[in-house]
Amino acid sequence: MERTGRIVSPVFDDWIDASDVVSAIEERDGGWRSKLPALLNDIMISLCARRIGATLITYNGEDFRLIRRHREFSLRVLAGARRESRR
């Protein structure tokens, strides 16, 4: 995947933007405050997708819709229950 250029990593500006998103969620969506540390990865995924113009596809509509209230990005939420990863 690396050879074909299909790996997307956060850049410095994504981290700066993520801090703005976290601050905005903390200020405007206070009920999410305890979940902010767990949301950081989803915020970074959203910002990377936004930067490259990709559509983010997920079962986790609740978290990503929250993020999208603060930064616009293309989102498609799949129907059905959220799938948890198996360890």
Q: How far apart are CA 44 and CA 28, in angstroms?
A: 19
Global confidence as pTM: 0.83
Helix 36-52 × helix 12-28 angle, to 10°? 130
Count CB atoms within 10 A of the CB of residue 43. 26
What local confidence, expressed as pLDDT, does residue 87 receive?
Answer: 37
Q: CA nearest 54: which of 70, 69, 74, 72?
A: 74
Q: How does pLDDT run across 22-66, given as a tens digit for each residue?
A: 999 999 988 888 888 889 999 999 999 999 999 999 999 999 999
